Structure 1
Amino acid sequence: MMKFIKKRVLAVVSLFLVLTLLPVLPKTMAVSQGKMISQTREQLDAERYIVTTLYDTTMARSNKTGAKSTDYYYKGSCVWTLTVYGAFYYDGKTSACTGDSVTYSTSSGWSCNSASSSHSGSSATAHGTFTGAKTVSDSVSISCDSKGNLS
């Protein structure tokens, strides 16, 4: 009886995750140029949420590039995406960001007022301001530790 309940709960949780992530997957795959490491969803209010996805775009030893994107959803549709790209050096003891860039995309009715990127230490950050139904400013950062792990 207990095994049956565990299997049933696992099936329900799996189905919930699949249904929750289905609207996100096509957009994520389009942005991806590497291996997806993680994805989180932050509910801002009843109409808005943000999906943040981290990608590892290389597997080279001592040098690594990665991307982290933020997809902004309004009333169930992705209305803009802000992505930061970072290039990193690591040697097991230290790490450093050696370069950065930013890209963005918007859907109909939304525009980007500004987008920029910078890097310092072992992190790269992109900032963007978007206007549509609301004006929204956001930033997304990617970091690399001394072992080459991106976050």
Structure 2
Amino acid sequence: MFTKLFNKKKLQVIAPITGDVVSLREVPDPVFSEGMMGGGIAIMPKEGGIHSPVEGTIILVADTSHAVGIQATDGTEILIHIGLETVTLKGVGFKTHVQVGDAVSIGQLLIEADWDYLKEHAKSILTPVIITNSSSRTITSSNNAQCIANETVLLTISTH
């Protein structure tokens, strides 16, 4: 009985991209900063593509390739939204490497982003990483100032 109470498995969400870690409250878009989509963190990318932060299944690839959703093996749903107001770019600046239903592993390349193009044409390249079903989970941030893709633990998630 106590084993079930105290040995709840926790999911580690690894950084999907290298960059500076930013509080979600600092994202200049109320949909993210006010937690309307869920809790999480944001990253100001420095380089590289978007990689899977967990083992799981792709549950969303935006038609415009600016966002990808993954359901982790424990049921946690993660949305990676590349930049702000990037939907208006209609897919330009992105190259998708996965589709809905694909099984993914930690570190697998999901989307390539042309950061130079995005910096010039998007409102911001700040990239929120959201736990969309966070109401049934406890999210703990690792409090890192920077993160390295496929290495840094950004968030630890446990179910209630």
| TM-score, scaled relative to structure 1 | 0.30
Max Rg structure:
1
| TM-score, scaled relative to structure 2 | 0.28
Q: Which has the higher strand share?
A: 1
